[in-house]
Chain A
Amino acid sequence: MENNGNSTSVLVIGAGIAGIESSLLLANSGAKVYLVEKASYFGGNVIKWEEVFPNMECATCMIAPKQQELLQNENIKLLMLSQVEAVQGSVGDFTAKVKKKARYVDLENCIGCNECFEPCPVEVDNEFEERLSKRKAIYVPCAGALPNVPVIDTDNCLRFKGEDCQLCQEACMFEAIDYTQQDEELELKVGAIVVATGFKTFDLTQTPQYGYKKLNNVYSIVEVERICASNGPTEGQIVLQNGEAPKSVAIIHCIGREEKGYCSSVCCMASIKQAHFLKNKLPEIKVSQLYSDLCIPGRIYQRFYEEVKGSGVDFIRATVNEVTQQGAGLAIKYKTEDGKGNTLNVDMLILAPAIEPETDSSKLAEILAIPQDEHGFFSEKEPDLDSVDTSREGIFIAGCAQSPKDVPDTVAEAEATVGRILSLSR
């Protein structure tokens, strides 16, 4: 590959913060980038968060300028609703087959006015909002999602189920809705590949002792992120299922750590952040953190922890045995390290689940012929030394696809893939 910026083309898989950063840097060097994203929007997990630790910046505002820059960059082709189906060749000369599903809404003609949602008669759970709210069969996942162009969910759209409905098309003033759009098969020639497929969280129903999906007001940390979000299902109002604000909340750390066999790196900080958020919104609220070891590595995080602790958040080193319903609230039975048993009564419980590789990682590992480790994360070529190279030359990994990590480490890895790719010519 040449370093002069014109002949390099790169396939980036996953348009979260890692994929965005890689793509922008590569494109600015003059390389052509195909950024493949399976969702109908881009921005990954970060755009689900209201604020990010430790400076409590608005996550959407933080990432939006990068997203806009990406949408306007002529060297980047963003392929949404797309998945890599096959990859052949070797470094400098890969051929990737990408399947791009039809959006049924024209990206050029649509201006994002949202007039098409209203008339749609279908209502289903909104997955982006952790099923805490409803959406239509033509929708954008949340206000502010980019690109601001809806997608038709053909599994639920009446027209695609054979009925003669065209209410959304009638509502569109720009002839942007096109039911005849077809799925496309693309063949891309690229010199290198960046895998930045991110993470999902541990399935909390596997640990029934905490009452998730069985007891009222037990949430995952991801759900609470959406509840805290000003563009989320409650518009940022923290409420119990009865509509009242909680007076006491417990956050249990490390759910699934034992099952997974590793520490997910960022959950302590995320839990402390949520405590900060709760205290800010509801100053009288009592927040307790139930944790075993506090993992707040690096020079920046301890200050934030101390600030939150100083605001009256309880930190209890404990092992939780069981959560039960107690009247309208929840009773958490726990044991401290000296073996003493105790019970904490709260209105709301937040569980911090382990971080896992994204759902399709094994399939993608097979397509790319790169190894995964025992936990399903993509393996780096030289563990402990270099985390962005895979054992297949020309294929690189960045972010949580490799191991749980925070945003700055993810961004650094994304930038590192660019360093590696642009120096491949030697």
Chain B
Amino acid sequence: MAKKIGVYVCECGNNVADNVDIDRVIKALSPLRDVAVVEKYRLLCSEDGKEFLKQSIIDHELTHLVVAACSPKQHEHTFMSVCVAASLNPYLFQMANIREQCAWVTQDKEEATDKAIRQIAAAIARVAYNEALEKKDIDVYPDVLIIGGGIAGIKATHVLASPDRKVYLVEKNSSLGGKVKGFDKLFTKMESGSALIEKELKNLREDENIEVFTESEVEQILGFFGNFEVKVVKKATNEELNFNVGAVVLATGFDLMDPKGLPQYGYGKLDDVYTSLEFEEMNVPGGPTGGKILLKNGNPPKSVAIVHCVGREDKGYCSKVCCMYSLKSARMLKAQLPAVKVSQLYSDLCIPGKAYQKFHEETKDLGVEFIRAEKTNVTQNSKGMTVKYESETGSKGDLAVDMVILVPAMEPSSDTNKFAEMLSIPIDNEGFLAQEHQKLAPVASSVEGVFVVGCAQGPKNISESIVQSEAAAGKILSALVPGRKLELEVKTSEISETFCTGCKTCISVCPYSAISFDDFREISVVNEALCHGCGVCAAACPSGAASVKNFAFTQIYQEVEALLK
């Protein structure tokens, strides 16, 4: 069928008309190949303009459409809708931006007119090679897999489960509750962490849309947003479970850095040097000391030093919550042992937000001492332990104490790398699972449908972890609506079977893990459900096999050639 390209130039009131000689544009473009009609209109985006455009497409039986007007950001969507109304495939349409890129910026009218002619000629040359594309959609599973049964995982499960959405919660340990379960007190209200977990678990137990697997490992996750195939193995029985979900939430939490690697603190060598988590354990009524804060010799401590920021320098980041829970530890000490002397050795107090300074001031009022210390060293002799410290200005001091509580940096839990590899999620410089966008997509990962919440993506407090769980739930509930199909990106990449040499370059550069290798045919294959059409593969492919639909080499070449003619 012969091509019939219609070209419509918008005067945009006087915005284009004042600075571009539109009659000369029409005259110059009319003889171009395949151009059936070139016309101008006062304002194409107006209701009259859209109707005129629609009728023109029908009357002239156009096969392709070029609109020369404003930025596609403003009205591409508008004119694509007009195409649809006129039964023309909207991908057989191209815009030339002769307002922002020409009339508004090119001062001389003659020059602007020449430029507009080139811009529109380029769009004509390109549109002739555009492909008619169709929107595709896929059925989705609304169900969700949550990995990690700490507070973040529990909350995500609770928010997501509903009669039309099943949630699978997988925890490697024998019980749910994560780290929070082991905290006798939580800042700032000093309420029990285990009671909080118990309350949350009650909600889960009562919900028949939730399936919990404890002592279980996720062994494999294949597929894409809307349709992941999951394999879980129950460790005790080796029983294998297979099910499908539409989305995955990683809530794998954190570990504390092991202070044994930092000999200056004496951890593992001196009797009464503890990590903050060990101190937490001491406070739990059912714990090893029955909830009593005791030294190794069975006596309660008379003086305690809490050393902040252990390992911060090595990690290269601030663990965000340590200042606050060190204040909490001081309060727990003071509550149980009113006469105890507590000293906080810190470098910068990080207590962000509206509620924490008050907690700090109240703690200080209990007689807790705050000492600014950059370098700290713990030693022991026959008289007891000494904490030597040096401030940033060089002044030195020492403290004789019975007990030292170290506050180590938080690091991603040991499972992080396993899941990063399983799901092809990048790990950031600090070892945590990376976000899709640091500012705008805090819980999404670069793999669509996989979300990372809580301390798995960086140190955070309980309320921030809960918010992130609810945020992932918000993203999932918004996109995976039961009974609704998922629309896929239209302009995806395609790899020519004929030209692909199987070098796998595309696989290594694809940020969405959308390309896999077909071992039998020895070529790369694009998964359209994962491809975002970014074009990185097309740019990297050495044999020209990869290209993005409607950004093919021919189209770009034709466009550039017409621009430069």
Contacts and interface: CB of A to CB of B under 8 A. Distances in A.
A355 B359 CA distance: 19
Contacts of A63: 440
Given A295-B351, A336-B393, A404-B354, A409 B477 contact: no
B471 A111 contact: no
B475 interface: yes
A377 B354 contact: yes
A411 B350 contact: no
A413 B471 contact: yes
Interface in A53-80: 54-55, 57, 62-63, 66, 68, 72
Nearest to A317: B392
A418 interface: yes
Query: How extensive is the interface on chain B, given as a class?
Result: 35 or more
Given A303-B316, A412-B471, A383 B395 contact: no
Contacts of B356: 262-263
A384 B188 contact: yes
Interface string A259-285: 001111110000000000000000000
3 closest A-B pairs (Cβ-Cβ)?
Answer: A418-B474, A419-B473, A415-B471
A417 interface: yes
Nearest to A295: B350
Interface in A367-418: 373, 375, 377, 380, 383-388, 403-405, 407-409, 411-418
A181 B160 CA distance: 45
B292 interface: no
B472 A419 contact: yes
Interface in A8-38: 21, 25-26, 28-30
Given A261-B358, A384-B188, A25 B475 contact: yes
A111 B467 contact: no
Given A298-B318, A384-B186, A386-B463, 17 more contacts: A66-B440, A262-B357, A263-B352, A265-B353, A294-B348, A296-B318, A386-B466, A386-B467, A408-B435, A415-B442, A415-B471, A416-B473, A418-B477, A418-B478, A419-B159, A419-B469, A420-B474
B45 to A, nearest CB: 8
The residue among A261, A386, A419 with the most chain B CB atoms within 10 A of its own CB is: A419
A383 B474 contact: no
Contact of B470 (A299, A373, A388, A404): A388
A186 interface: no
A221 B255 CA distance: 37
A303 B316 CA distance: 7
Given A299-B458, A303-B429, A388-B467, A417 B474 contact: yes
Contacts of A426: 161-163
B205 interface: no
A411 B441 contact: yes
A331 interface: no
A157 B476 CA distance: 48
Contacts of B357: 257, 261-263
B545 interface: no
A174 interface: yes
7 contacts: A25-B474, A62-B439, A297-B318, A301-B317, A386-B466, A415-B442, A419-B470
Contacts of A263: 351-353, 356-357
A300 interface: yes
Interface string B322-359: 00000000000000000000000000111111111110
Contacts of B349: 293, 295
Nearest to B471: A415
Interface stretch (B7-15, B113-121, B225-233): B7-15
B4 interface: no
A402 B224 CA distance: 36
A113 interface: yes
Contact of B463 (A377, A387, A415): A387
B253 to A, nearest CB: 14
A4 interface: yes
A412 B442 contact: yes
A423 interface: yes
A375 B466 CA distance: 23
A3 B189 contact: no
B317 A302 contact: yes
Given A57-B439, A303-B429, A293 B350 contact: yes
B428 A299 contact: yes
Nearest to B352: A265
B354 A416 contact: no
Given A3-B482, A174-B43, A404-B354, A298 B460 contact: yes
Contact of B473 (A4, A21, A408, A423): A423
Interface in B25-46: 43, 45-46
Nearest to A375: B354
B81 to A, nearest CB: 10
Given A4-B483, A301-B317, A52 B439 contact: yes
A384 B438 CA distance: 23
Nearest to B155: A386
B475 A415 contact: yes
Contact of A420 (B159, B442, B461, B476): B159
B235 interface: no
A297 B435 CA distance: 17
B189 to A, nearest CB: 6
Most chain B CB within a 10 A radius of its CB, from A25, A66, A336, A384:
A384
Contacts of B189: 383-384
A173 interface: yes
A5 interface: yes
Contact of A55 (B15, B317, B432, B438): B438
A180 interface: no
B316 A302 contact: yes
Given A338-B393, A403-B354, A416 B467 contact: yes
A385 B196 contact: yes
A3 B477 CA distance: 8
Given A111-B43, A407-B439, A413-B467, A173 B484 contact: no
Contacts of A408: 435, 438-440, 442
A296 B350 contact: yes
Nearest to B358: A261
Contacts of A422: 473-474, 477-478
B430 interface: yes
Nearest to A389: B470
Contacts of A173: 13-14
A149 to B, nearest CB: 12
B226 to A, nearest CB: 14
B77 to A, nearest CB: 5
Nearest to B322: A297
Interface in B443-477: 443, 458-464, 466-477
Nearest to A148: B74
B350 A373 contact: no
A30 B77 CA distance: 19
Interface string B378-398: 000000000000011101000
Contacts of A385: 196, 462-463, 466
A68 B73 contact: yes
